[in-house]
Amino acid sequence: MPLIRKGANDKSAADVGAQGDNASLLLGGDRDQRWAAARTLADYPDGGKALAAALPNEQDPRVREAILTGLIRHPGDASVTAILPLIGSDDASVRTGALDALRAMPEALAARLGEVLADPDPDVRLLVCDLVRVLPSTEASRTLSDLLDRETELNVCAAALDALAEVGGLEARPALERCAERFAAEPFLRFAVRAALDRIGAPSPEPRG
Partner 1 sequence: MAEPEPVTQEEFGRLCEFVYRRTGMVFTEAKRYYVQRRVNDRMAATGATSFASYFARLRSDVKGEVEQFINAFTVNETYFYREDHQLRCLTNDILPARTRDKRKGDPLRIWSIPCSTGEEPYSIAMWLLDNWPQVDAFDIEIIGSDIDTKVLEAAEAGIFGRRALMRLTPDTIDRYFHKLDDERWMILDDLRQSVRFTPVNLVEPGETRPHGQFDVIFCRNVLIYFDDASRRIAAENLFDNLAPGGFICLGHTESMSRISPLFDVRRYADAIVYQRPMEGARG
Footprint of partner 1 (CB under 8 A) = 1-6, 9-15, 31, 39, 43, 60-62, 65-66, 68-69, 72-73, 93, 96-97, 100, 103-104
d(CA 156, CA 169): 20
With respect to partner 1, which residue has the nearer C-beta, 157 or 167?
167
Closest CA to 71 of 94, 93, 95, 102: 102
Contacts of 56 (CB under 8 A, 6+ apart): 82, 85
Q: Give exposure, 160-182, as e/b (b: 16+ Cβ within 10 Å).
A: bbbbbbebbbeebbebbeebbee
Q: Based on CB atoms, which residue is closest to partner 1, 65 or 146? A: 65
What is the smallest separation between the CB atom of 167 and partner 1, expressed in angstroms? 17
- Residue 17 CB, shortest distance to partner 1, in Å, is 11
HEC string for 28-69: HCCHHHHHHHHHHHCCCCCHHHHHHHHHHHCCCHHHHHHHHH
Q: Which is nearer to partner 1, 100 or 123 (CB)?
A: 100
Least Cβ distance, residue 26 to partner 1 (angstroms) = 15
Residue 104: CB minimum distance to partner 1, A: 4
Minimum distance of partner 1 from residue 101's CB (angstroms): 9
Give min distance, CB of 12 to partner 1, in A.
5
Residue closer to partner 1 by CB (options 128, 175) is: 128
CB-nearer residue toward partner 1: 62 or 174: 62
Q: Say which DSSP state 174 is in.
A: H
Q: SS3 for 98-152, per residue?
A: HHHHHHCCHHHHHCCHHHHCCCCCHHHHHHHHHHHHHCCHHHHHHHHHHHHHHCC
